Chain A
Amino acid sequence: KAGVTQTPRYLIKTRGQQVTLSCSPISGHRSVSWYQQTPGQGLQFLFEYFSETQRNKGNFPGRFSGRQFSNSRSEMNVSTLELGDSALYLCASTRRGAPDTEAFFGQGTRLTVV
């Protein structure tokens, strides 16, 4: 059974640019969530999608957005990149998106903004 796949693994962008990250969940999983991981702030919840609907959103500016497609694949977009957006972005999927369910994480996309 394939795990959560995130592409690309590494990305270097310039300030002011925008970026799109992709996440393919485990087959059959309908909930996809995104986290930002930085040394200073740790793991912070960005948003969660279930059946193409955003159900939860963390405390991030509107430059961070996402969407989920009918096949449960998800993308997140960051516009007008800032140096502080440099981080490891992790995607996680769960089968039914309930609070007691285990989340399966991808290996992450490491974004560097220069």
Chain B
Amino acid sequence: AQSVTQLGSHVSVSEGALVLLRCNYSSSVPPYLFWYVQYPNQGLQLLLKYTSAATLVKGINGFEAEFKKSETSFHLTKPSAHMSDAAEYFCAVSPSTSGTYKYIFGTGTRLKVLA
């Protein structure tokens, strides 16, 4: 069965510092991968997605992620954290062989940005 592991349920960074949120997936075939962000009392908003095109994916708000098949990873990065980046981030996998839509989410990482 496919699964997603997000290392670190809480991450704190200083404003202006690098943001690195880790995501590893388990799948026998390369799946489709997504990063979503959730602000308090809100739904989820897509940051970026990997669908087997370029392995380095750029998303909104300066975020990007690199798909590394050898490491089964899809870590999310941002060069310089902003206070508005404080939120919860979810990595999700969509099985490419299923033919239908279904996300499997990681447990989430809550990002705190320190002034």
- Interface on A for B, CB 8 Å cutoff? 4, 31, 33, 35, 42-45, 48, 50, 55-56, 90, 92, 94, 97-108
Prevailing SS type, chain A contact patch: strand
Contacting pair A102 B46 (CB below 8 A): yes
With A102-B34, A107-B42 in contact, do A43 and B90 touch (Cβ < 8 Å)? Answer: yes
Prevailing SS type, chain B contact patch: loop
Residues of chain A within 8 A (CB-CB) of B41 are 107
Rounded to whole Å, the gap between the CB of A83 and the closest CB of chain B is 22
Contacting pair B104 A99 (CB below 8 A): no
- Interface on B for A, CB 8 Å cutoff? 31-32, 34, 36, 41-46, 49, 51, 90, 94-96, 98-108
- In the complex, which of the residues B31, B36, B43, B46 has the most CB atoms of chain A within 10 Å of its own CB atom? B43
